[in-house]
Structure 1
């Protein structure tokens, strides 16, 4: 974590925010938001002309990520603008500081949309259908002219046999498959990190999709696959498969399923020995353990390899 930052917002950042909001706005409260793992999030309470407003500030503090992608703040800012112009339910961008020169760290300031993350829904089927419909809607947006292009996080050629797994040789087979040439796929606008913890709900409807820092032009299957691997870890293979079926219903003929993108999305999540994603715990998800997550990933891998046998 950057020096001087923790659960309190520094004076430099507050001054920058005040400049963006204008003299008629008064910042009356600041509190850290839970769930963020790759950046710091703060909720800002603001009074302006007798009206109470809420904003969210994201600060990018991870040095290794910024070294790889120094334009993270600009990337999210442009993604939010692009998504809002396309009519998707996203926070409204107020300002961003690409380098952190004025705010202390690279920063994005946006509106706070009402709603909350739901990881234990009362109506699983409607909840899952809502997720699928929202993602299919995103993929209807053409991405010509959007400057960010999809790239995979892991190089399958360099991945080593996962010692944590009970089916290590099957993982090696998956690495070989992913390392081969990719199938052709039509590009569209993709969120790149679409999963239940990045979707807000209010009154049983989706109120916003958040965390757009990875949005880009790419295959729809990458978004579908990323959500599926998250669902597989959270709830098991059957829910991941139900999501795919729901997405296919909503996407219709615009989407052609290929298990390659599922497998690539799965391998992209590998970074050492798999553990429970801290954001899930922060949003109240219970009953998960590192051992269960690893078991579910093994099961999910085998289900995907079975799909390749059918192709």
Structure 2
């Protein structure tokens, strides 16, 4: 078995569990760590087939004590959503097996099919990718599965926001006061709930007329039902922190250009943008680490904090 990093290939109980879900005559012949995730350990498993070929699967395993307690709920959510997405016009992994309570594996785990493509977090080519991201999110919000997912969960509260060191305290205080208010009314939509460039796979060809295309969307553990503005705000904040302040507004514009419908009033839209941005204040270190691992070494925790502060300040200044 080929191992491409220093972590264990596959833990023994998990290896046995995965093997039970392979086809007759198949075996694991290689593993590779997939970087970029925050909550779970991700591994690509290369499977040797009976005819001498290979195919790939992906193993999601919750090992971080911070997230193991949430693993059962998150994995059950993803296991329920992936079959609903099959044939729905949104490319997503197929479910192979799930062990949400670690009844068979060392840790809670989910086994799924592997999608072609790669995440792209570079600044180069972003102008071509943003409309693709927006159209993909509009397609997700258009889904109407037979089984509606759970209601969205707000990822922060006014009392848990962490104001960055050196931030504009007046702007942050106003932003925190804003999310103390009840959420605006909204028309519910099917939300990915963690839609951003790190969870979208692209086929990026050499420079030419073809351009990039999306090959799939991954990480459906937080899928829920709620306002489209929340998904748009989440991707906007990620784009701001990755690429700079202009891209937050640009993504919202691209979403509407693609046919997406946001809240009717500017104040309602601002509420969701501010709520999502403040949620990042509690996990800047967690967010920045996988971006650096993916090659964006300039995105230190401090650099991301500074961009977040600038974004929150700009949102509050935009109130007029």
TM-score by length of 2: 0.88
Aligned to 2:29: 28
Q: Distance in 1 between matches of 2:301 and 2:76?
A: 34
Of the three residues 210, 219, 223, the one matched with 1:215 is 223
Aligned to 2:309: 298
Q: Kindly tell me: are residues 278 and 123 of structure 1, through their superposed partners in 2, closer, same or farther at Cα, counting changes over 3 Å?
A: same
3-state SS of the aligned residue for 1:71?
helix
Give the aligned length: 304
Determine whether 1:230 maps to 2:232.
no
3-state SS of the aligned residue for 2:183?
coil
Q: Distance in 2 between matches of 1:102 and 1:21?
A: 15
3-state SS of the aligned residue for 2:21?
helix
- Superposed CA RMSD in Å reads 2.2
TM-score by length of 1: 0.90
Contact between 1:226 and 1:266, CA under 8 Å: does it hold in 2? yes
Determine whether 1:267 maps to 2:278.
yes
Contact between 1:117 and 1:283, CA under 8 Å: does it hold in 2? no
Aligned to 1:141: 143
Q: Distance in 2 between matches of 1:211 and 1:61?
A: 16
**Displacement after TM superposition at 1:68 (Å):** 4.4
Determine whether 1:249 maps to 2:257.
yes
**Displacement after TM superposition at 1:185 (Å):** 0.8
Contact between 2:71 and 2:100, CA under 8 Å: does it hold in 1? no
Greater CA drift, 183-192 or 270-279: 270-279
**Displacement after TM superposition at 1:66 (Å):** 3.3
What are the within-5 Å matches in structure 2 for residues 28-177 of structure 1?
28-50=29-51, 51-68=53-70, 70-120=72-122, 122-142=124-144, 145-156=147-158, 158-159=159-160, 162=163, 164-177=165-178
Aligned to 2:3: none
Greater than 6 Å deviation, 4+ residue runs: none
Task: List alignment gaps of at least 5 residues for structure 2.
Answer: 1-5, 206-211
Determine whether 1:278 maps to 2:286.
no
**Displacement after TM superposition at 1:144 (Å):** 6.4
Q: Distance in 2 between matches of 1:200 and 1:252?
A: 21
